[in-house]
Amino acid sequence: MKTQVAIIGAGPSGLLLGQLLSKQGIDNVIIERAAGDYILGRIRAGVLEQGMTDLLREAGVGERMDREGQIHTGVELAFNNKRVKIELEKLTGGSTVMVYGQTEVTRDLMEARSAADLTTYYESSNVVLHDVKTDSPYVTFEQGGEEYRLDCDYIAGCDGFHGVSRPTIPESSRKEFERVYPFGWLGVLSDTPPVNDELIYCKTDRGFAMTSMRSATRSRYYLQVPLTDKVENWSDDDFWTELKRRLPDDVAEKLITGPTIEKSIAPLRSFVCEPMQYGNLFLVGDAAHIVPPTGAKGLNLAASDVATLNKILTRVYKDGDKACINQYSEICLRRVWHGERFSWWMTSMLHDFGDDGANSTDAETYGRFMSSELNFYTDNEAGRRVIAMQYVGLPYEDLS
Ligand code: APR
Ligand code: PHB
């Protein structure tokens, strides 16, 4: 089999890239390890920057998002039992964010790909990338008991943190940067009305909490928990009781509880692989970088990688300019590191790092620094503008 671009992974990165390339008449095939339903069952984030919503509309999959998504003009930070509004639209001169679940983004992209009858191999196994440093790379994989070889010009590694693409780059040719946080997020979905119109990020002595939503009837809540914690330790009642303890009093009073329909714990990590390109292999999204969810950047950084790769491949195939592929990693990494730093900063300001045992004084000192940081940046408009500019997302960079 032959295609122009082989895409590994049918998560948001792979599906969005495939849709944009197809719009340009660039042939692509997606090879995905899991079944489509399994991918849709993964509960992920829900805040989209304007850059991403514009990209989804360009890809022709923005109609349901525009109908069902919620435009948010602000978010709240709550600490010391006070609530500070970060007025995103006012402070940035008009930028907002869209609340629309990643699951719905993925569903819209999957349905569009299927409607366009584009080739996607779900439930593939033993995916191996070959000759990525040559002009004739190829992918071998198995599916439905058959072995396949897909020859291509380029490979987009959209296969997430645990995928096969990043390890295809020899260790001697890549450098990985990582910070693992000493806590995780316990998240629940419930078919209950959101407790507040805007998202609230809460810092308390008991730990971080967050209120979000998926619609007017479906809420998403999070609690900071120790890395050693397990989902089975948390009954619904335990979760609601602890959430109320961490919410500002006037918010806790309004909380409507109910049975949870999803409950999971996710670790928090900052991770970047440099470079994001090796020959004709391009790492995209979670395959190249991971952020703690406190800045709502994971999906949005994946989108900006996709935007850059789409621009590059369009220039390669439409203008015959192959040299521009060497801009990919540098352009992506500039925006990735901004997103990494903002996500680390928000995580550091809003979580309780407690004591790390052996060196509790250091942890407590760090905690005082970050409490001061939170007070300083929320106490004045210039500081709130710094938060707002990064939360709505920095501009996408064009090719030179
Ligand atoms: N072969 C084929 N597919 C694979 C392989 C493999 N060896 N390994 C992983 N995959 C698939 C996974 O099953 C998944 O569907 O690649 C896809 C990667 O999707 P994501 O992990 O969602 O990564 P990405 O598309 O970059 O989206 C980033 O997802 O995890 C969230 O917080 C993250 O919001 C961010 C977004
Ligand atoms: C979510 O709605 O799941 C969400 C929103 C904002 C974040 C993280 C998660 O920063």
Domain ranges of the chain: 5-68+99-178+269-377, 180-267
The sheet carrying 97-99 orders its strands as: 47-48, 97-99, 70-72
Q: Which residue in the block uniquely carries the two structure tokens 């010009």? A: 153
Instruction: Name which of 275, 333, 327 is nearest 304 in CA terms.
Output: 333
- For 290, the token pair is 């991971």
> Which neighbouring-strand residues pair with 1?
none
The closest-lying atom of ligand 2 relative to the alpha carbon of residue 44 is: 3
The string of DSSP letters for 114-157 reads: HHTT--EE-S-EEEEEE-TTSSS-EEEEEETTEEEEEE-SEEEE
Question: Which CATH fold would you assign to the domain 180-267?
Answer: D-Amino Acid Oxidase; Chain A, domain 2 (3.30.9)
Has residue 118 got a pLDDT over 90? yes
Q: How far is the CA of 99 from the centre of ligand 2 (A)?
A: 9
CA atoms of 23 and 18, how far apart (whole Å): 9
Instruction: Name which of 136, 102, 155, 129 is nearest 283 in CA terms.
Output: 155
Has residue 26 got a pLDDT over 60? yes
pTM check: above 0.95: yes
Residues catalogued as catalytic: 72, 201, 293, 297, 391
Q: How far is the CA of 295 from the centre of ligand 2 (A)?
A: 8
* Residue 46 beta carbon below 6 angstroms from any ligand 2 atom: yes
Q: If 0-12 CB within 10 Å is exposed, 13-18 middle and 19+ buried, where does residue 364 land?
A: middle
Instruction: Name which of 129, 178, 396, 156 is nearest 276 in CA terms.
Output: 156
- For 286, the token pair is 């979670």
Q: How far is the CA of 40 from the centre of ligand 2 (A)?
A: 17
The string of DSSP letters for 45-108 reads: --EE-HHHHHHHHHTT--HHHHHH-EEES-EEEEETTEEEEE-HHHHHTS--EEE--HHHHHHH
Average pLDDT rounded to a whole number, residues 317-326: 95
Best probe residue, ligand 2, of 212, 342, 343 (max atoms within 8 Å of C-beta): 212
Q: How far is the CA of 294 from the centre of ligand 2 (A)?
A: 7
Q: If 0-12 CB within 10 Å is exposed, 13-18 middle and 19+ buried, where does residue 25 land?
A: exposed
b/e for 291-316, b at 16 or more Cβ within 10 A? bbbbbbbbbbbbbbbbbbbbbbbbbb
Q: Are 289 and 272 in contact (CB under 8 A)?
A: yes
The one-letter amino acid code at 312 reads I
| The predicted structure's pLDDT at residue 359 | 59
Name every protein residue with a CB atom under 6 angstroms from any ligand 1 atom: 8-14, 31-34, 39, 44-45, 102, 124, 127, 158-160, 162-164, 285-286, 298-299, 302
Ligand nearest to the CA of 300: 1
Q: Are 84 and 77 in contact (CB under 8 A)?
A: yes
CA atoms of 228 and 222, how far apart (whole Å): 16
Mean predicted lDDT score pLDDT of the chain: 96
CA atoms of 125 and 118, how far apart (whole Å): 20
Q: How far is the CA of 316 from the centre of ligand 1 (A)?
A: 26
Average pLDDT rounded to a whole number, residues 215-226: 96
Least confident of 52-56, 196-200, 353-357: 353-357
| The predicted structure's pLDDT at residue 43 | 81
Has residue 360 got a pLDDT over 80? no
Q: How far is the CA of 191 from the centre of ligand 2 (A)?
A: 17
| The predicted structure's pLDDT at residue 18 | 98
Average pLDDT rounded to a whole number, residues 86-91: 98
Q: Are 5-68+99-178+269-377 and 180-267 in the same CATH fold? A: no
Q: Are 1 and 29 in contact (CB under 8 A)?
A: yes
The closest-lying atom of ligand 1 relative to the alpha carbon of residue 15 is: 25
Least confident of 29-38, 64-73, 331-340, 361-370: 361-370
* Residue 188 beta carbon below 6 angstroms from any ligand 2 atom: no
- What 3-state class would DSSP assign to 325? helix
Q: Are 16 and 164 in contact (CB under 8 A)?
A: no
Least confident of 44-53, 128-137, 316-325, 351-360: 351-360
* Residue 296 beta carbon below 6 angstroms from any ligand 2 atom: yes
* Residue 211 beta carbon below 6 angstroms from any ligand 2 atom: no
The closest-lying atom of ligand 2 relative to the alpha carbon of residue 297 is: 10
Ligand nearest to the CA of 219: 2
pLDDT band at 169 (very low <50, low <70, confident <90, very high): very high
| The predicted structure's pLDDT at residue 355 | 60
Q: How far is the CA of 209 from the centre of ligand 1 (A)?
A: 26
CA atoms of 354 and 367, how far apart (whole Å): 8
pLDDT band at 356 (very low <50, low <70, confident <90, very high): low
Has residue 358 got a pLDDT over 80? no
Instruction: Name which of 270, 274, 265, 244 is nearest 348 in CA terms.
Output: 270
> Which neighbouring-strand residues pair with 72?
97
Chain-centroid distance, C-alpha 335: 13
| CA separation, residue 194 to residues 212, 251, 380 (Å) | 7, 11, 28
CA atoms of 48 and 72, how far apart (whole Å): 10
| Per-residue pLDDT reduced to its tens digit, 263-305 | 999 999 999 999 999 999 999 999 999 999 999 999 999 999 9
Q: May I ask the CATH class of domain 5-68+99-178+269-377? A: alpha beta
Residue identifier of the C-alpha nearest atom 10 of ligand 2: 296
Ligand nearest to the CA of 187: 2
> Which neighbouring-strand residues pair with 29?
6
Instruction: Name which of 15, 350, 289 is nearest 163 in CA terms.
Output: 289
pLDDT band at 376 (very low <50, low <70, confident <90, very high): very high
* Residue 47 beta carbon below 6 angstroms from any ligand 2 atom: yes
* Residue 290 beta carbon below 6 angstroms from any ligand 2 atom: no
Average pLDDT rounded to a whole number, residues 218-241: 97
